[in-house]
């Protein structure tokens, strides 16, 4: 599965649909049981590269293979490095 780009709802979590639940569970990032929704992707730890907090409205990337959260600056860097290594 590819790297997915999402927009943050809050600094801690973003609501997701059922199609992403399996990937969130595999990554240990699923949060449930909140009044405002059923499923959430937890990203309070921020960007995997530098720990920068993801703020509400910020675009970010969720790597469904590794479970990492990255800000868009670092996801583009990681994608470039991966394509150079092929």
Radius of gyration of the chain measured on its C-alpha atoms: 13
Whether the pLDDT of residue 84 is over 90: the answer is: no
Residues 6+ apart with CB under 8 A from 2: 64
**Higher per-residue confidence, 8 vs 85:** 8
Whole-angstrom distance, CA of residue 1 vs CA of residue 35: 29
> What percent of the chain clears pLDDT 70, i.e. is strictly above it?
86
Are the CB atoms for 56 and 8 separated by under 8 Å? yes
Domain that holds residue 76: 3-84
As beta bridge partners, residue 15 has: 40
Q: Dihedral through CA 69, CA 71, CA 72, CA 75, nearest 10? A: -50
What is the total count of domains within the chain?
1
Whole-angstrom distance, CA of residue 83 vs CA of residue 76: 11
Give the pLDDT confidence score for residue 74 in this predicted structure. 87
- What average pLDDT is seen over the chain? 89
């Amino acid at each position: 599965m590819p790297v997915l780009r999402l927009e943050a709802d809050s600094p801690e979590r973003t609501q997701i649909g059922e199609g992403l639940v399996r990937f969130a569970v595999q990554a240990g990032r699923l949060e449930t049981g909140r009044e405002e929704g059923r499923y959430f992707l937890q990203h309070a730890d921020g960007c995997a590269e530098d720990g920068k907090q993801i703020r509400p409205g910020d675009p970010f990337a969720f790597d469904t293979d590794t479970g990492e959260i990255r800000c868009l600056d670092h996801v583009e860097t990681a994608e470039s490095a991966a394509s150079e290594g092929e």
